[in-house]
Structure 1
């Protein structure tokens, strides 16, 4: 079973972050520029939240708030579920499914080292299933 560390080796460890006092507009602009659906919210080296397109849609747009005047801290999810680099893809899938999450920040000790998305996890599961099918086909025909 693949671990999160393997996913990060393949996709890279880039972490896109925003400060809690930044405007929601700046956060959404950065998400668009980086082509990501969420940013971690960092106060210095400390993870203090995560903000996503879903937060923007539900907490700004639907409440008719100004994205330029609203700080990220007011709409972010503060109780962030994180995973370690040793977590398995299955464990992460379970967390995403049970918590209806799309992004999991990855922690190694105290350091933020990456983020995995539900898309990353699905790709890993599909890859593993293809490998299993290939091995089974070889066994059957071999």
Structure 2
């Protein structure tokens, strides 16, 4: 199993997109759409104070009849933020996501936000590992019959 650090390195994107709790939900959703992402870290200065996701928007704005241009991110964000460290494994992340029912985990190192891991990142890593194993087995099998 790869570590979070290895997965982030392979992902190549070091940017973690964030939003202020005082920005409107409309601004947050626009940022997610522009970046092609499903979640933003909510920060006040350098402190992480929450996470806001497309799911939060659907459930806490749309279904509640709120206006996204008049609702602050702080009103819909999840204030409890689970996170992982760079040395943790894909398996650690998958277990935490499954038990906590979250799809995004900030990566914290030395009290600094250094990345964001998504369920998609973890699945891509697993598929890549499986593909490598299949190729190795095929190579081994074809070498046995040559």
In 2, Cα distance between equivalents of 1:78 and 1:42: 11
In the other structure, the counterpart of 1:48 is 49
Secondary structure in structure 1 of the residue aligned to 2:87: coil
Secondary structure in structure 2 of the residue aligned to 1:83: coil
Secondary structure in structure 2 of the residue aligned to 1:63: coil
In the other structure, the counterpart of 2:65 is 64
Secondary structure in structure 2 of the residue aligned to 1:101: coil
In the other structure, the counterpart of 1:3 is 3
In 2, Cα distance between equivalents of 1:138 and 1:109: 43
In the other structure, the counterpart of 1:88 is 89
In the other structure, the counterpart of 2:36 is 35
* Number of positions where the alignment pairs a residue of Structure 1 with one of Structure 2: 142
Range with greater deviation from structure 2 (12-21 or 97-106) = 97-106
In 2, Cα distance between equivalents of 1:2 and 1:13: 17
In the other structure, the counterpart of 1:139 is 140
| Aligned-residue offset at 1:121 | 0.4
In the other structure, the counterpart of 2:77 is 76
| Unmatched segments (≥5 aa) in structure 2 | none
Aligned Cα root-mean-square deviation (Å) = 1.1
Secondary structure in structure 1 of the residue aligned to 2:30: helix
| Unmatched segments (≥5 aa) in structure 1 | none
In 2, Cα distance between equivalents of 1:42 and 1:90: 27
Range with greater deviation from structure 2 (13-22 or 98-107) = 98-107
Between structure 1 and structure 2, the one with the greater Rg is 2
In the other structure, the counterpart of 1:20 is 21
In 1, Cα distance between equivalents of 2:134 and 2:34: 38
**TM-score, length basis structure 1:** 0.95
